[in-house]
Amino acid sequence: MKFIHNDKVSLGWAILVEIAVHALFAFQAFLLGGFLGEIALTAIFGPGLGPKIGAWALAVFVFGAAMQAFVLGEYMKEHVQSYERTGKDGSYIRSFKQVRGLVFGIEITSLLFRIIVVWQAGDALQAFVVALFGIVTLWYAYAQAKVIHASVNRPIEYHVMQAQHEVGRSFIDDILKRKDEMTAEEKARFAGGDFAAITDAARTGFFADEQRRQAKTSRSQSRQTRRLEEQQHEENAREQQEHTKQAAGGLFNPANWGKSTTATPKNISNFEEALSSSQANHQSRRQQ
């Protein structure tokens, strides 16, 4: 439930609805723009393209102006107020308020055009409902823009309180996980309002977890030590084997014999014949 019931979803939904309301008024301006385009742009772009250009141009303009004046207007207002504090005559903040009023008037005009269209269709009740709905949604959009601004620019103290609250919830959750490990005396103290019992239970659980963690770390270090010892033993055996191989390579070389310091061709020839004969005899025995 916390996945959807939180401040981020609330703020995102408010912004989405705010955009939808101004998009609705932009759609109404689309109808008005088509009418104005048919009057003013048909002679330039033709009867097929003129109304479309007028409709899209006015719809985009109304939507952008409404977003700037109402949704993002508070930021602009702060900038203008800051500029006025430098010693200006107050005309800039009055111009900002006029911009908001003009945008409001444009949206009301698009609403009135929609009401006239419905009225001409012969349904006065539907025209009244459209008017009431338009006024209410526009009022809602203006108020919601202030709420969104306040939510986005909430003070840092709010985040501090939220952090304290989350830490407290996390602490209690940890204690509830250990309620089965609490002694009867600790449970009785906690039920009686002695919150020190929670601290005692948490401290006991922490020490128990720490002992298990240290034991696990010790076992891991022991396995690592044995692994290093096996690797060292393997490396020593490999070096010893390589040394023995090198020594065996010179064992049958007459040049390395102690009785003769000079390897004559005759000695080398005798050695090679003896070695070949020994290998032949060995091969013959294997075949038998």
pLDDT value at residue 276: 66
Instruction: Provide φ and ψ at 75, rounded to 5°.
Output: -65, -45
DSSP assignment letter at 72: S
pLDDT value at residue 95: 93
Instruction: Provide φ and ψ at 183, rounded to 5°.
Output: -75, 165
pLDDT value at residue 70: 83
Q: Where are the domains of the chain?
A: 7-154, 250-287
**Calpha distance 7→171 (Å, rounded):** 22
The tokens describing 177, both together, are 């996980």
The tokens describing 245, both together, are 């191989």
pTM of the model: 0.54
Burial class (CB in 10 A: 0-12, 13-18, 19+), 165: exposed
| CA nearest to 202, candidates 173, 239, 163, 165 | 173
CA distances from 91 to 7, 72, 85, 95 (A): 38, 21, 12, 6
Kindly report the average pLDDT of the chain as a whole number: 79
**Calpha distance 147→14 (Å, rounded):** 9
DSSP assignment letter at 255: G
**Calpha distance 102→61 (Å, rounded):** 13
**Calpha distance 4→163 (Å, rounded):** 19
CA distances from 229 to 217, 222, 225 (A): 18, 11, 6
Are 51 and 125 a contacting pair, CB within 8 Å? Answer: no
Treating both helix axes as pointing N-terminal to C-terminal, what angle do 196-249 and 184-191 enclose, rounded to 10 degrees? 140
pLDDT value at residue 2: 65
User: What mean pLDDT is predicted for residues 172-193?
Assistant: 75
| CA nearest to 21, candidates 146, 150, 139 | 139
Bigger pLDDT: 1 vs 73: 73
Q: What pLDDT digit, counting tens, does each position of 213-266 carry?
A: 888 888 888 888 888 888 888 888 888 877 776 666 665 566 655 554 455 555
pLDDT band at 1 (very low <50, low <70, confident <90, very high): low
Q: What pLDDT digit, counting tens, does each position of 66-120 carry?
A: 888 888 888 888 899 999 998 888 899 999 999 988 988 888 888 888 888 888 8
**Calpha distance 110→36 (Å, rounded):** 11
pLDDT band at 31 (very low <50, low <70, confident <90, very high): confident
